[in-house]
Amino acid sequence: MLKTIRIALWIAVAVSLVVVGVLFWRADRQEQAVAFRPEFSLPDEAGTIRTSEEFRGKHVLVFFGFTNCPDICPTTMSEVAQVMDDLGPEAEDVQPVFISVDPVRDRESGLDEYLAAFHPAILGLAGDEAQTRAAVESFKVFADPEKAASAPGGYTMSHSSSLYLIGPQGDWLRQFEYGTSADDITADLKERL
Amino acid sequence: MMKPLIAGLGLATLLPALALADCAKVSQGDLSVSAAWSRATIGTARPAVFYVTIQNTGSTDDRLTGIETPVAGMPMLHETVMTEGVASMPHAAAIDIPAGETISLAPGGFHGMLMDLEAELKEGESFPMTLQFEKAGKVSIDTEILPIRAREAACGVAP
């Protein structure tokens, strides 16, 4: 009798383990099935609203920044410019997008002229506060005006400094952390194009 | 057949030497300052950057406490700090130059932020920069203005 109970209990343990395993596996599958599709809808310098849907079919390299930053932003834009040059004809399938997290100042100082100095392919977008916040939240990045009297205009901007790669179907593919060399980014893109 | 080869070899050894010759190096006491560069700007609205390499060959620590240049009304030392992928740029009151070490102000780390530019920084030109050290005093160096797309000093870091 005792033996039967023991066997039954062991069977119950085995069954529950299998059930838990299956549940985990299904949860994992569901997560993979729902792709992360970050969106933006922001005006370019001419005032035309540009959206993430517009670039379906292309790989989109997104960067959040502001042009009053002397170090990180020019460095990252230089890397992106180098990537676009090194891709050669395949660059047509890649769209670099710069989203301003300091849109008022960036519009005033001329975003297009600045970005074109790095590479003419880079699209600069600067919206109002709500549009910018929507894009920042959709990409799950961080951007926050940081009060610092030492910076021009009275503040600097803490911001996520990675490049985000969005696939041709609008799905998030990966990020390139700050400091990833142009060569590494180009190699990764060439494998996908 | 041999002549162009020799000429080529000669050129191959001469060219890097010429390129390095462009890299100004100023020594004072135990410190030598080299590879000072900046990026060209568009107008004067945005701050420019200042990068440099400082070598301390002595046995006493020193500190870089400030920078001064006629091209900017408000030059400051900053550091780019990465915290979980988020960049912030706090003001650096001073940068330690420990004995026997070489410290670089370089993209993604310490840098000079040149605010209130007096004039647009034009590619190919240069401007003077005076570095203030706690012990070594003032050291002035000519800063090369590289293209806006430049990613590193044109002359490489002088040994």
Q: Tell me the ipTM for this assembly.
A: 0.79
pLDDT, one tens digit per residue, over A159-180 is 788 999 999 999 999 999 998 9
Flag whether residue B154 sits within 8 Å of chain A, measured between CB atoms: no
* Beta-carbon separation of B87 and A178 below 8 A: yes
Q: Is the pLDDT of residue B28 over 80?
A: yes
Phi, psi of B112 (to 5 degrees): -85, 135
Question: For position B38, what pLDDT does the model report?
Answer: 97
Q: What is the pLDDT of residues B89-144, one digit of tens each?
A: 888 889 999 999 999 999 999 999 999 999 999 999 999 999 999 999 999 999 99
When CB atoms are compared, the residue of A70, A77, A159 closest to B49 is A70
| CA distance, residue B47 to nearest chain A CA (Å) | 6
Angular region, A32: left φ>0, alpha ψ -120 to 50, beta rest: alpha
**Residue A119: closest C-alpha in chain B:** B149
B76 confidence band (pLDDT: 50, 70, 90): very high
* pLDDT exceeds 60 at position A125: yes
Residue type, A108: E
Chain B, nearest residue to A149 by Cα: B91
Rounded CA-CA distance A179/B13 in Å is 31
Q: What is the mean pLDDT of residues A69-84?
A: 94
B80 touching chain A per CB within 8 A: yes
Residues of A in contact with B49 (CB under 8 A): 70-71, 74
The answer to whether residue A190 scores a pLDDT higher than 90 is yes
Highest-confidence segment of A60-74, B8-22, B51-65: B51-65
Question: What is the arithmetic mean of pLDDT over A141-168?
Answer: 75
Assess whether pLDDT exceeds 50 at residue A118: yes
- Tell me the pLDDT of chain A averaged across its residues: 87
Residue B6 has pLDDT above 60, yes or no: no
Of A72, A79, A118, the CB nearest to B87: A72
- Residues B38/B52, Cβ–Cβ less than 8 Å: no
Among A179, A184, A172, A187, which residue's Cα sits nearest to residue A59? Answer: A172
Query: Residue ranges per domain, chain B?
Result: 24-146
Which residues on A lie below 8 Å from B91 (Cβ)? 148, 150
Among A residues 167-186, those touching chain B with beta carbons less than 8 Å apart: 175, 177-179
Q: Token pair of B111, please?
A: 């840098």
- What the block records as the tokens of A105 is 């100042």
> B128 has which bridge partners?
B142
Mean pLDDT value across residues B31-35: 96
**pLDDT the model gives residue B158:** 43
For residues A34 and A37, the model is more confident at: A37
Please tell me the distance in Å from B12's CA to the nearest CA on chain A: 25
> What average pLDDT does this structure show over A115-133?
95
Q: Which residues of B touch A186 (CB under 8 A)?
A: none
What CATH number does the domain located at B24-146 have?
2.60.40.1890
Strand residue runs (E) in B40-152: 48-56, 62-68, 72-79, 81-83, 86-88, 95-97, 102-105, 110-117, 126-133, 137-146
Q: Does A72 touch chain B (CB under 8 A)?
A: yes
**Residue A153 confidence (pLDDT):** 58
State how far Cα A51 lies from the chain centre: 14
What pLDDT does residue B17 have?
A: 47
On the question of pLDDT at B81 being above 60, the answer is yes
Mean pLDDT of A13-36: 68
The per-residue pLDDT for B91 is: 86
B47 with A70: Cβ contact below 8 A: yes
Condensed to tens digits (0 to 9), the pLDDT of residues A44-60 reads 999 999 999 999 999 99
Residue B3 pLDDT grade (very low, low, confident, very high; cuts 50, 70, 90): low
